[in-house]
Chains A and B, each alone.
Chain A
Amino acid sequence: MDLLNQYLIPHFNYWAYVILMMIGMHAMIVKNNLIKKLIGMSIFQTAIILFYVSIGVKEGADIPVLHHHAPEVAESHTPAADPHHAVDPDHYANPLPHVLMLTAIVVGVSTLGMALAISQSIYKDFDTLEENEILAKIKQGGPGIDV
């Protein structure tokens, strides 16, 4: 019960991310089919995104887009100068992890695209996407395979 209250419930997201990440990593290392490895890679990278986004959560906070004041008010009083317009940081979610994860998403898309292109190229050369069959073909040698 103590374990549950101290470790699991307040950190539920982190447990979920670790489990997802391990599923992905297991697929990347152990699976024989190259596409399954890539599916694992996507899960792996998405788990990291879950982790980062969990860091930036604040209880009851809004998205980090500041509420609009009427333009003329905003012109005449800068938020710092006027206490009525001072922004309370606890009211908005932490923007930084979102920015960082936008980068990680882009990197994930790019890596996946590149990996798919490479697996297409592998299929063209070896006629299969099963790793053990590819290795067997390399061992046998063959036209264009042995360098």
Chain B
Amino acid sequence: MKYIDEYRDPKKVRRLVDLINSEVVRPVYKIMEVCGTHTAAIRRFGIKSMLSQKIELISGPGCPVCVTSDGYLKNALFLARHKDIVITTYPDMLRVPADGESLETLRSEGADIRGVNSALDALDIARRLPKKEVVFLAVGFETTAPGTAIALETAKKEKLRNFSVYSAHKTIPEALIALGEDRELALNGFLLPGHVSAIIGVSGYARVFKKIALPSVITGFESSDILFAIYRIVKAVNDRRPILENEYTRIVRNKGNTRAKALLKKAFIQKDSLWRGLGVIKNSGLFVRSVYSEFDAQKKYNLKNEVKNTRALRAARGCLCADVLKGKIAPTQCPFFGKSCTPLAPKGPCMVSREGTCRSYFEYQ
């Protein structure tokens, strides 16, 4: 199959693996994959088991569900309890727990909660149910945000008054800076997310690169894509030469998707945002602009801004999500792991999604 088979050719992959392993000269290479789909692909192809143990692949905060804050979830659950509100969101969000509850459990108690595959599906539901208030829980990075932007634009055009968006959209470059500057983490390089890069382009990382100057390679999701990027990073670390490279040229352009970028700019304003585990990251959130304020669920329902609530929330939780998400500890070092926190009764979101680090570890045990 074109664009698949040639990137999964076992012989080519073997050669790449040998090449990488022969380049290993330092005691450790800490490489973070920032994207959940990369995490899933690395697991799916069994890549870790092929590479030298000196190459540490650390899963970053790139699973949209995993970084969604408790405060946001509690607000979402609050909305879901309202009998005139229909909650629409990506199905992955349904099982994320907050205080022992989740959208799924509320649904079993009668709340109207519907899984959708795009913001436009949520819009459709609003058109079909004019007597209900339809709220779209918008999560995800630069990849899903343009869809939300189109939904906002369309809702305004159609004067669809029963539709609103509760945005938890986040941007990747700001998170990269926070992670790259973390001394304790001491990363050697980044595998940059393919899909996000398709939107923001290579140029979207220029600012990050200026600030943290770590080997960073944009790459796709096939085994040879990932391995080639690891090879480039290992080599750059050896040469002590920071690089920003695009190895996913079949999808990612230098300037990215200019139309999508324009949509984002029109619909959202960048403000500080709370990431579960990482805390507040400056300017990393995409919030609905005032031109669309009638479609902004946060304003419409007067929801508390979760950024102001961090300390209380963190103290209440106790699980070590934060350190896991940052790659500082292995999930097994969390006291709840496998005991009071399992995929069936998850305490934190890292245990929910198949892209989540804890879930991944649990299934390997």
Is chain B a partner of chain A in the same complex? no
Q: What residues of chain B have their CB less than 8 Å away from a CB belonging to chain A?
A: none
What is the interface of chain A, defined by CB distance below 8 A to chain B? none
